[in-house]
Structure 1
Amino acid sequence: MNSHDQNIDLPSVDEVPVDDLDRKLLETFAGRVVRKDLVKRLKVGFNVPVYVLEYLLGKFCSTTNRDEIEAGLRQVKDTITERIVRADQGELVKARLQKQRSMKIIDLCTVTFDEKDQGGKYWARLAASGLDFIHVEPDLVHKHERLFTGGIWANIELSYDETILHRGVTRPFVLQRLAPIQIASARYDEFVEGRRQFTRDEWTDVLLRTMGYEPAHPDFTPRRKWLYLLRLVPLVEKNFNLVELGPRGTGKSYVFRELSPYSILLSGGQVTIPKLFASNAPPYEPGLVTRWDLVAFDEVAGSHFKKPEDKQLYKDYMELGSFSRGSAKGTIQGEAGFVFNGNLDGEVETIARTSHLFLPFPDTIRNDMAFHDRWHAYLPGWELPKMQPGYFTAHMGFIADYIAEIFHNELRPRSYADHYDRHFHLGSHVEERDRKAIARSTSGLIKLLHPDGECTKAEIEEYLQFSIELRRRVKEQLRRMGGIEYARVNLSYIDKENRHETFVTCKELGSTQILPDSPLPPGDVFTVGHDPAEGRYSLFRIQCSVAPGGGRFAVVGMTSKGIRESARMSYDYLRANGKKIGLDRDLGQYDVSLQVMRLTPGNDADDLGMAFYIALLSATLGRTIGAQLVVLGQMSLHGVLSRVEGLGDKLRVAMDAGARRVLIPTENSRDFAALPAEVLDKLRIEFYSEPSQAAFKALVE
Structure 2
Amino acid sequence: MEDRESRNEDNSQKEFADDYEWMETEEVEESTSDPFGLHLNEKLNHIFGGKIVRKDLTKKIKEGANVPVYVLEYLLGMYCATTEEEAIAEGVKNVKKILAENFVRPDEAQKIISKLRERGTYTVIDKVSVKLNYKEDRYEAEFSNLGIKSVPISEQYPTKFERLLSGGIWCIVQLEYFYDEGDKTRVPFIISKLTPIQMPNLDMGEVVEGRRRFSKEEWIDVMLRSIGMEPSRFSLRVKMLLLARMIPLVENNFNLCELGPRGTGKSHVYKEISPNSILVSGGQTTVANLFYNMSSKTVGLVGMWDCVAFDEVAGITFKDKDGIQIMKDYMASGSFSRGKEEKNASASMVFVGNINQSVDVLLKTSHLFDPFPDAMAYDSAFFDRMHCYIPGWEIPKYRPDFFTNEYGFITDYLSEFLRELRKTSYSDALDQYFKLGNNLNQRDVIAVRKMVSGLIKLIYPHGVFGKEEVEEILRFALESRRRVKEQLKKIGGMEFYDVNFSYIDNLDFSEEYVPVPEQGGGKLIPEGLHKPGQVYTVGRGKSGMLGVFKLETEMVTGSGKFERTGIGSDREAKEALDTAYRYLKANGKNISGTISTTSKDYLMHLQDLNGIGITSQLSLAAYIGLCSAALNKPVIGSLAVLGNLSISGSVIKVEDLANNLQVCLDSGAKKILIPMSSAMDMPSVPPELMSRFSLIFYQTPEDAVFKALGVE
TM-score, normalisation: structure 1: 0.91
CA distance in 1, matches of 2:337, 2:68: 33
Contact 1:528/1:538, CA 8 A, preserved across alignment: yes
- Pairwise CA distance, 1:146: 1.1
Q: Match for 1:256: what amino acid?
A: Y
CA distance in 2, matches of 1:418, 1:660: 38
Say which of 55, 69, 72 aligns to 1:53.
72
Instruction: Tell which deviates more after alignment, 127-136 or 568-577.
Output: 568-577
Q: Match for 1:508: what amino acid?
A: E
Find the counterpart in structure 1 of residue 28 from structure 2.
Answer: none
- Pairwise CA distance, 1:256: 1.0
For each residue in 1:268-296, what CA deviation from the matched residue of structure 2 results, as whole angstroms up to 9, or x when unmatched?
A: 333233212223x4113321111111111
Matched, 1:160 2:171: no
Matched, 1:85 2:104: yes
Q: Match for 1:155: what amino acid?
A: I
Q: Match for 1:311: what amino acid?
A: I
Matched, 1:41 2:60: yes
Say which of 201, 207, 220 aligns to 1:185.
201
Q: Match for 1:250: what amino acid?
A: T
Find the counterpart in structure 1 of residue 243 from structure 2.
Answer: 229
Instruction: Tell which deviates more after alignment, 339-348 or 439-448.
Output: 339-348
Find the counterpart in structure 1 of residue 552 from structure 2.
Answer: 543
CA distance in 2, matches of 1:700, 1:123: 83
CA distance in 2, matches of 1:441, 1:307: 31
CA distance in 1, matches of 2:603, 2:223: 62
Find the counterpart in structure 1 of residue 256 from structure 2.
Answer: 242
- Pairwise CA distance, 1:298: 1.8
CA distance change for structure 1 residues 671 and 56 in 2, over 3 Å: closer, same or farther? Answer: same
CA distance change for structure 1 residues 478 and 615 in 2, over 3 Å: closer, same or farther? Answer: same
CA distance in 2, matches of 1:95, 1:390: 42
Q: Match for 1:226: what amino acid?
A: M
CA distance in 2, matches of 1:699, 1:414: 62
- Pairwise CA distance, 1:552: 5.5
Find the counterpart in structure 1 of residue 657 from structure 2.
Answer: 647
> Structure 2 matches for 1:550-565, cutoff 5 A?
551=561, 554=564, 556-557=566-567, 559-565=569-575
CA distance in 2, matches of 1:37, 1:583: 82
- Pairwise CA distance, 1:44: 4.6
CA distance in 2, matches of 1:45, 1:247: 26
Find the counterpart in structure 1 of residue 326 from structure 2.
Answer: 313
- Pairwise CA distance, 1:80: 2.0
Find the counterpart in structure 2 of residue 255 from structure 1.
Answer: 269
CA distance in 2, matches of 1:398, 1:307: 41
CA distance change for structure 1 residues 400 and 164 in 2, over 3 Å: closer, same or farther? Answer: farther
Say which of 372, 376, 380 aligns to 1:361.
372
> Structure 2 matches for 1:93-492, cutoff 5 A?
93-115=112-134, 118-163=135-180, 169-217=185-233, 220-279=234-293, 281-304=294-317, 309-327=322-340, 330-353=341-364, 355-408=366-419, 410-492=420-502
CA distance in 1, matches of 2:437, 2:272: 39
Find the counterpart in structure 2 of residue 575 from structure 1.
Answer: 585
Q: Match for 1:426: what amino acid?
A: L
- Pairwise CA distance, 1:509: 2.4
CA distance in 2, matches of 1:415, 1:556: 56
Instruction: Tell which deviates more after alignment, 229-238 or 123-132.
Output: 123-132
- Pairwise CA distance, 1:604: 5.3
Find the counterpart in structure 1 of residue 636 from structure 2.
Answer: 626
**Gapped regions of structure 1 (runs ≥ 5):** 6-17
CA distance in 1, matches of 2:468, 2:590: 67
CA distance change for structure 1 residues 560 and 313 in 2, over 3 Å: closer, same or farther? Answer: farther
- SS of the equivalent of 1:191 reads helix
- SS of the equivalent of 2:74 reads helix
Contact 2:572/2:616, CA 8 A, preserved across alignment: yes
CA distance change for structure 1 residues 561 and 127 in 2, over 3 Å: closer, same or farther? Answer: same
Q: Match for 1:541: what amino acid?
A: K
CA distance change for structure 1 residues 565 and 306 in 2, over 3 Å: closer, same or farther? Answer: farther
CA distance in 1, matches of 2:185, 2:136: 18
CA distance change for structure 1 residues 687 and 223 in 2, over 3 Å: closer, same or farther? Answer: same
- Pairwise CA distance, 1:368: 2.0
- Pairwise CA distance, 1:558: 5.5
- Pairwise CA distance, 1:50: 0.3
- SS of the equivalent of 1:216 reads helix
CA distance in 2, matches of 1:382, 1:599: 22
Instruction: Tell which deviates more after alignment, 544-553 or 476-485.
Output: 544-553
CA distance change for structure 1 residues 470 and 96 in 2, over 3 Å: closer, same or farther? Answer: same
- SS of the equivalent of 1:414 reads coil
Say which of 615, 618, 641 aligns to 1:608.
618
Q: Match for 2:400: what amino acid?
A: P
- Pairwise CA distance, 1:658: 1.3
- Pairwise CA distance, 1:539: 1.7
- Pairwise CA distance, 1:553: 5.6
CA distance in 1, matches of 2:494, 2:677: 20
CA distance change for structure 1 residues 636 and 44 in 2, over 3 Å: closer, same or farther? Answer: closer
Find the counterpart in structure 2 of residue 9 from structure 1.
Answer: none
Contact 2:529/2:634, CA 8 A, preserved across alignment: yes
Find the counterpart in structure 2 of residue 666 from structure 1.
Answer: 676
Q: Match for 1:283: what amino acid?
A: S
- Pairwise CA distance, 1:164: 7.9
- Pairwise CA distance, 1:234: 0.6
Identity of aligned residues (%): 42
Contact 1:663/1:685, CA 8 A, preserved across alignment: yes
Q: Match for 1:63: what amino acid?
A: T
- SS of the equivalent of 2:110 reads helix
Let me know the Cα RMSD of the aligned residues: 2.6
Give aligned pairs, total: 679
CA distance in 2, matches of 1:268, 1:671: 47
TM-score, normalisation: structure 2: 0.90
Q: Match for 1:200: what amino acid?
A: K
